[in-house]
Chain A
Amino acid sequence: MPALLELEAEYAKAKKDRSFLDELELLQKTYIGRPTALYFAKRLTEYLGGAKIYLKREDLAHTGAHKINNAIGQALLAKKMGKKRVIAETGAGQHGVATATGAALVGLECEIYMGSIDIKRQALNVFRMKLLGAKVNEVSIGSQTLKDAINESMRDWTTNVRTTHYVLGTVFGPHPFPSMVRDFQAVIGKEAKRQILKAEGRLPDCLIACVGGGSNAMGLFNEFLADNIRMIGVEAGGRGIEGGQHAARFAGGSIGVLQGCKTYLLQDEDGNVLETHSVSAGLDYASVGPQHAFFKDAGRVEYTYAVDDEAMAAFELLSRTEGIIPALESAHAIAEAAKVAPKMSGDKIIIVNLSGRGDKDVQQVAKIKGIEIC
C-alpha cells in the first residue's frame, strides 16, 4: 500500500513535469517510432465486402507491439523515482520484451516473471528478453500463466519495494496502475483520431480491439469515449464458452476482487479463480481491467469474443490479404472485424487496433497446424 501511494504521488508529479513529458515524447518519436501508421487495408476491405477497414499499426512500434508505449513511460518514471530495478509480468512475452527494452534504454536492472506454460509457447520472446539483459524467472506454480506471473511480481515487489518498481503491463491491478497505463497507451487513440480525420475527413463508425487485460483497447478507445462511435472489445473465446475453456470474462465471469481491483472475473462459487484457455497467451487471463468492467456495465463498449479457430483463421486471412502477420491476440480483433464489416455499408469506417505483430506466434501456429519448422 505505501508503495502504491508513493507511485500515485510520483506519477501525479511526473504528469505535470514538462521535462518528463518532453523526454517521453522524444522517445516516442525517435525510439518507439511514433506515430505508428494508420493503414487502409484495401484488400481485406474488398475481401470482406463492407465497411472500410483501417488498421492502427501498433505492430510497427519498436519491439513489435503497443506494450512498449507503457513500458517506456514506466521505465522513465522508475528512473525518476530513483529505483534501481524494474520487474514485470508477461504472458505473451511482449510486455516482458518491452520492459526489458525500457530497462536497457534507461539503465535499470530487470527481472521478468513468466508462467512455465507461456515460456514454452513463447520461447522466442524468452530469448529476446535474455538478449536484452533481463533475467527471466519461471513461474511454475498455480496455472503457470499470466495470472501467476502477476502474483509472483506482486510478491517480488512487496519484498523489494525499496529498490524496485513494478512495471505492470496492462490497465489492471491496484490504483494508480489502470489510470497510469491508460495514459501511457492513450497515444494510440490520439494519433488514430488525427490520422483518420486527415485520411477521411471524419471520425470512424466503429473501433475494434482485443481485450486481455485491456491496455491496447483502452489506448485506442480513450480518445473516442465522448464521440458517438461504436466500440467493440474482443475477448478470447478459447474452445468455446460452454466448456469453460476460454478467457471471456464478460461472457462467462462475475464480479470479484483480484490482484488489487474489483472487476469481472472467471471464478468458481467459492471465489477461487478458474483456469483459462486461449490460443493466445496475451489474452489467456481470468480477469480484465476495471475500466472495461465499467464500460461494460455503463453500456459504452460492447464486449464479445472470438474462439481460437476464428482467431487462427483471421491470422491467416490478414497474412494473405495484406501481407501483415498479426499477433494471435490482435487476430481476435481481426476476426471480429471480419464478422462486423460485411454487415456495414461501404461508406462506413472501422478502425481495428493491430496491437502486435505475429512473428512471436509463427512457431506456435505451425505447431497447432502440425507443421515442423525446425
Chain B
Amino acid sequence: MNRIDRAFKRLRASGGKAFIPYIMAGDPNIETTMERVLMLEECGADIIELGVPFSDPVADGPTIQRAAERAIKAGVSLKRMLSFMTELRKRSQVPIIFMTYYNPVFKYGEENFIEDAAAAGVDGMIIPDLPPEEAGGLIKECHAKGINTIFLVAPTSTAERMKVIAFASRGFIYYVSMTGITGSKLSPEEQFRGHLGRLKELTGRPVAIGFGISNPDDARNMAAFADGVIVGSAIVRKFHEDPGGAREFIKKLREAI
C-alpha cells in the first residue's frame, strides 16, 4: 500500500487530521533538506511535500519562487532529488510527495522519471502546471508504479471539473483555499465552505487544504473541515528567516491540526 494511503487510513481510524508541511528541497542546500525532512517527521508531519525547484514556478508566490532560485543555485534538480530519496529511504518511511513542474519531468522523460521515482521511494506527485486533461500518460505511469497523482481543485472549479480532478487524483485531493498562488492571504472561509462540501459529496477521497495557511490559527480553522492541512510558504519563510525558531513553529502547527 502507498505510504500516503496508509497515513490517511491510520488518521481516519484515529480521527486525526493530516499535517502536510512543504519545504523547498535544496534551500539552502541538500544536506540541510535531509535534516529538515527528519525533523518534520519527528515533529509529527504525516506526509511531507518536497518542492523540486524549477526556474518558472507559475503556481508559486514570491516566497517559494525565491527559495527555488536558491535551490537551483545549490545544484538541486529532479535527478539529484531521486538520489536524495534513495538516501532518505534508508532512514525514514515518511510519505513523500514531489511538487514540481512539468518541463523538468518532460525533459527527464515521463516514463523514465516515474520508474526512477517509484524505485527511489516517492509516494506522490503534484505538477500544478499539468492539467488532468494533458496528464493521461503520466497518470497511467504513476498508477502502474504505485505513485499517487494529486491534482488541485480551485474555488472556481465547477462540479463537472471537480469530477474530472477527483477521478484523476489518488491519495488525496488538494483543495486550494483561494484562487491564486501559494503564500497569498486567506479569503473568508464561508466562501469555500459550501464549495468544499460539494467536493466531499463527489468523492470518497481525503481532501487536504493548502495555499495561504500562514499560522497555527489558520491551520486550526482549516483542519475543522478537511482531512488534512498543507502549509508551505509560511514554513519555507520560517526556515529561511528564522531557522532556529522553525521547530517550535512546526510543533505549534502540528498541535493546531
Contact = CB atoms under 8 A, between A and B. Distances in A.
Given A151-B56, A258-B103, A265-B103, A162 B66 contact: no
A267 interface: yes
A257 interface: yes
A150 to B, nearest CB: 9
Contact of A256 (B53, B103, B181): B103
Contacts of B62: 141
A2 B62 CA distance: 24
A271 B78 CA distance: 9
B112 interface: no
Given A2-B158, A271-B106, A272-B72, A259 B179 contact: no
Interface residues of B, number: 36
A269 interface: yes
A1 interface: yes
B221 interface: no
A255 to B, nearest CB: 8
Given A159-B181, A162-B179, A256-B106, 11 more contacts: A2-B156, A2-B161, A141-B66, A142-B55, A155-B58, A158-B179, A256-B107, A267-B103, A270-B107, A272-B53, A272-B103
A318 interface: no
Interface string A242-259: 000000000000001111
Interface string A170-193: 000000000000000000000000
A161 B104 contact: no
Residues of A contacting B: mostly: mixed
Given A1-B161, A271-B78, A271-B107, A158 B65 contact: no
Interface residues of A, number: 27
Nearest to B165: A1
Contacts of A267: 103, 107
B59 interface: yes
Contacts of B59: 155, 158
A14 interface: no
B155 to A, nearest CB: 10
Contact of B156 (A141, A148, A155, A161): A161
A53 B103 CA distance: 41
B116 to A, nearest CB: 14
Contacts of A272: 53-55, 72, 77, 103-104
Interface of B: 53-59, 61-62, 65-66, 69, 72, 77-79, 102-108, 129, 131, 133, 154, 156-158, 161, 178-181, 184
Given A142-B56, A259-B56, A270 B79 contact: yes
A158 B56 contact: no
Contact of B103 (A148, A159, A271): A271
Given A160-B179, A270-B77, A257 B56 contact: no
7 contacts: A2-B156, A148-B56, A151-B58, A159-B180, A161-B179, A259-B58, A271-B54
A185 B53 CA distance: 36
Contacts of B104: 270-272
A201 interface: no
A151 B103 CA distance: 15
B156 A162 contact: yes
Contact of B106 (A1, A3, A257): A257
A3 B78 CA distance: 30
A303 to B, nearest CB: 21
A150 B180 CA distance: 15
Given A257-B103, A259-B56, A272-B72, A155 B61 contact: yes
A265 to B, nearest CB: 7
A269 B55 CA distance: 12
A155 B54 contact: no
A267 B180 CA distance: 27
Given A160-B179, A270-B104, A1 B78 contact: no
A257 B69 CA distance: 19
Centre residue among B53, B78, B104 by max chain A CB count within 10 A: B104
A260 interface: yes
A356 B103 CA distance: 33
B69 A142 contact: yes
A273 interface: yes
Nearest to A3: B156
A14 to B, nearest CB: 22
Contacts of A161: 156, 179
A337 interface: no
B107 A269 contact: yes
